[in-house]
Amino acid sequence: MHSEVTHKPWEFAGFVDKKSGLLGKPVPTGELFVPNSIRLDPAKRSLVWTPGAGGKSIRPNMTNLFDGFVRLGQEPPAAILDYARRWGLLYLDADGTPCVMPYRPQATAGRTLPRSEPLDAWEYYSRRASAVLSIADALQKQKRASPSDWQVLGSLEKKLGEQALRDLRHRGGAVDLYALTGCLYSAKWDIEQERRWLAMEVALWLALGRPGFSLNPRSWRLEVDYSGCLFAAIALQLALTVTDARNLFTCSGCGVPYVREKKAPKSGQANYCEKCGPNASLREANNRVRERIAEARRLRAEGIGLREIAQQLNVRTSKRSTALETVQRWIGKE
């Protein structure tokens, strides 16, 4: 018989998880920096902000942050502005490299120069992240992913500057080559080949965002370190979601992939994200009822009896009425 292992000294130190009684703890999220001065420039289709104008550090709700980001490719500019004011910026430099923080703001004639981020870049990365989730969703179901989703994962050569590509080259792992070529999709791929290409895509996001870990001296705990950059948080969440795709579904309402924390829907059953939620479900239920009413009236016009209509349409007896009463109500007075 094996003796029970105890960790009393570690328990006293707080190293053991109180719920499970085991060593090991989840790593808490780090902070993102949200500048005070973010505004929208409609003429240039960009977000504009002034480094050094102050801001706030936040600890984000990662589910809301990530779910909101993958929708931005379908949203108007005002929605992107609202999102940036809530969660922060991608911190793109002039060459499009993400997570370039302005530790030394540029100044001309004593005035700090503003920085801008093109909305096109925000929409592009949002659509790219959404395509990654759609591919992961298909592969999790042991299906080939859609060619149209793979086509979104193209070259980043025109999105990144030379310095960013050099930095990727130093990281190794052929990530720099993938950034230059993008996904070279082939209809001859099998599922395992698709998985390998998806892994390369996720590696690219992590290489660009560079999330890491740091020890918070105030709380004396290890945290995920985003260096204040939203793109780093998005990259990490994308990787975590793809590797645990059991909870990944595509909304029947808006068609956007989302992480479902509730129990999985039954096979073939419609499911909805939090944004579409009860309203979409109610609309679908009402549409089904209207279709059944129309079919009941069509069958009655052909001389079909009420009982047979109830059987064909699988009308059930409820607390309020019998199946025959329901069909009669649908048809109306004759």
Whether this prediction's pTM lies above 0.85 is answered by: no
Question: Which alpha helices (DSSP H) does 88-210 contain, by range?
Answer: 119-140, 147-152, 162-171, 175-181, 191-209
Provide the pLDDT for residue 13.
42
Counted domains in the chain? 2
Provide the pLDDT for residue 6.
43
What are the backbone angles phi and psi of residue 195, rounded to the nearest 5°?
A: -60, -40
Provide the pLDDT for residue 17.
44
Provide the pLDDT for residue 241.
83
Residue 59 covered by a domain:
yes
Tell me which of 206, 228, 259 is where a domain ends. Answer: 259
Residue 141 covered by a domain:
yes
Residue 17 covered by a domain:
no
CA distance 88 to 232: 11
Residue 153 covered by a domain:
yes
Q: 292 and 164, same structural domain?
A: no
Q: 176 and 319, same structural domain?
A: no
- Note down pLDDT in tens along the chain; length 334 residues: 444 444 444 444 444 445 544 444 456 788 999 999 899 999 999 999 988 888 999 998 877 888 899 999 989 999 999 999 999 999 998 889 999 887 555 656 567 788 999 999 999 999 999 999 999 989 988 999 999 999 999 999 889 888 888 888 877 678 889 999 999 999 999 999 999 999 999 999 999 999 888 887 877 777 889 999 999 999 988 988 887 644 545 566 665 545 565 666 665 567 676 666 666 556 666 777 888 888 888 888 888 888 888 888 888 887 778 888 888 888 875 5
Domain housing 215? 24-259
Tell me which of 227, 259, 291 is where a domain ends. Answer: 259
Q: 301 and 248, same structural domain?
A: no
Provide the pLDDT for residue 25.
46
Q: 84 and 34, same structural domain?
A: yes
Give 99-111 pLDDT, tens digit per residue: 988 755 565 656 7
Residue 41 covered by a domain:
yes
